[in-house]
Amino acid sequence: MKNIFISGGAGYIGTHCVISLIKSGYSPIILDNFSSSHKSVIKKLQIISGKRVKFYNVDLRDKKKLRSIFKKHSCEIVIHCAGFKSVEKSIEKPISYFDNNIGSTLSLLECMKDQKIFKIIFSSSATVYNDSQPLPLKENSKIGKTQNPYGNTKYIIERILMDLAKNDSRWSISIARYFNPISSHESGLLKENSNGVPNNLIPYIIKVAQKKLPYLKVFGKNYKTKDGTCIRDYIHVTDLADGHLALLKNNKLKKGLNIYNFGTGKGSSVLEVIKAFEKQNKISIPYKYTKRRPGDVAVSYCDPKKAFKELNWKANFNLQNSLIDILK
Ligand code: NAD
Ligand code: UD1
């Protein structure tokens, strides 16, 4: 059994990675301070996997505690999912976002180096491409000009990791650029944390379907797209989790820096998402057009060929079947 540290392993993407890791015979060790998740998730992971799940309640910025955890386990790799992810909150509290996202990454890297752990997979985002440029987005498309503190933290961390790989040959660094993760494990036990009013499209539609919110606000109807609404690349979170496995299994954690897009390669408009949701769940989703959301790009979808060629990974779910069981 191979130990894998997973920071943010109690969160939405982290928990799905934990399930995929256990299924493939790895032994994940969660490092999480439960700032945006709940401890009860550990029990759910145990129910789904049928295994005891190791976890530490630790803030990654607590170097003393992190070092002592690293010393207790023999482990070569960290999957680094921990971080804050709300664009809106990052605008309200930029310093807290820089401190948590960048501060915890620096602390983690320092403690890894001290313990001679030199392999890391970093959860980055399509938001680093936030610029108008040719589509589909490829790993070598331009990054930068990020539009908010959250996006800036992802961009800055990527730059830190690029410099690290360039200047210290011991490191194997994989940057995983997630497009739009949706849905959840078939058990219905693991969910994206959406207390209050959600910001993201699918969690919002779910609340409308549950009649907890009256209608969906569609942000903008005059984008230069086929139906005037924004286009995104929606990827099932289980496919995304399997992408991390592909990185581990295919031994692509080779020296230096490797960047991969994790998306389906297919873009869907907001109206197409609404229609697909209505069809799948046999439910009507009332919506109204409102003004554009600041910072939204019109179209974002990836070219996922590099991950297929090098990792033998591709998304299995399309938009329609990603929505199966979504109301569970
Ligand atoms: P999440 O909020 O559900 O999970 C993040 C986890 O990190 C939480 O359990 C939280 O408690 C933990 N955490 C935060 N700060 C910490 C710290 N200082 N020390 C220890 N634990 C800490 O988010 P998610 O959706 O699972 O996202 C995981 C990663 O993927 C994030 O870095 C996010 O920016 C990135 N990402 C997410 C999406 C998305 O749509 N969900 C898209 C692109 C990138
Ligand atoms: C957003 C963030 C991105 C972050 C990602 C995951 C912004 C500008 N971008 O991506 O940085 O990495 O979430 O957390 O916030 N939409 C509506 N009505 C809604 C919600 C969304 O019309 O109530 C539209 C949006 O305009 C967008 C699409 O649905 O076109 C998807 O939105 P969302 O789920 O928030 O994802 P992104 O904006 O792609």
The amino acid present at 323, given as its one-letter code, is L
Give the Cα separation of 159 and 146 in Å (integer): 13
Triad 84, 89, 92: Cα angle to 5°: 130
The amino acid present at 257, given as its one-letter code, is L
Q: Which residues contact 4 (CB under 8 A, 6 or more apart)?
A: 21, 26, 27, 28, 29, 75, 77, 78, 79, 248
pLDDT in tens, the chain (328 residues): 699 999 999 999 999 999 999 999 999 999 999 999 999 999 999 999 999 999 999 999 999 999 999 999 999 999 999 999 999 999 999 999 999 999 999 999 999 999 999 999 999 999 999 777 899 999 999 999 998 999 999 999 999 999 999 999 999 999 999 999 999 998 889 887 666 788 899 999 999 999 999 999 999 999 999 999 999 999 999 999 999 999 998 766 778 999 999 999 999 999 999 999 999 999 999 999 999 998 899 999 999 999 999 999 999 999 999 999 888 7
Query: What Å distances lie between residue 188 and 35, 54, 126, 325, CA to CA?
Result: 22, 22, 26, 8
Q: Whose CA is nearest to atom 9 of ligand 1?
A: 11
Which two tokens mark 215?
Answer: 């209608």
Instruction: Sketch the domain layout of the chain as residue ranges.
Output: 3-182+235-263+303-315
Identify each DSSP E strand in 100-255 by its residue range: 119-125, 172-178, 180-182, 216-219, 231-232, 234-236
The bridge status of strand 54-57 relative to strand 26-32 is parallel
Pocket-testing residue among 157, 296, 302, 326, ligand 2, by greatest number of atoms within 8 A of Cβ: 296
Q: How far is the CA of 148 from the centre of ligand 2 (A)?
A: 13
Are 117 and 73 contacting, i.e. CB atoms less than 8 angstroms apart?
no
Name the residue with tokens 């299995």: 316
Q: Whose CA is nearest to atom 34 of ligand 1?
A: 85
CATH of domain 3-182+235-263+303-315: 3.40.50.720
Q: Is 296 in the pocket of ligand 2 (CB under 6 A)?
A: yes
Cis peptide before 214 (omega within 30 of 0): no
Identify each DSSP E strand in the chain by its residue range: 2-7, 26-32, 54-57, 77-80, 119-125, 172-178, 180-182, 216-219, 231-232, 234-236, 256-262, 268-269, 287-290
pTM, 2 dp: 0.97
Question: Percentages helix, strand, coil for the chain, rounded to the nearest 5?
Answer: 40, 20, 40
Q: Which atom of ligand 1 is nearest to the CA of 13?
A: 26
Are 7 and 84 contacting, i.e. CB atoms less than 8 angstroms apart?
no
Q: How far is the CA of 197 from the centre of ligand 2 (A)?
A: 13
Q: How far is the CA of 242 from the centre of ligand 2 (A)?
A: 23
Is residue 223 part of the annotated active site? The answer reads no
Give the Cα separation of 189 and 213 in Å (integer): 22
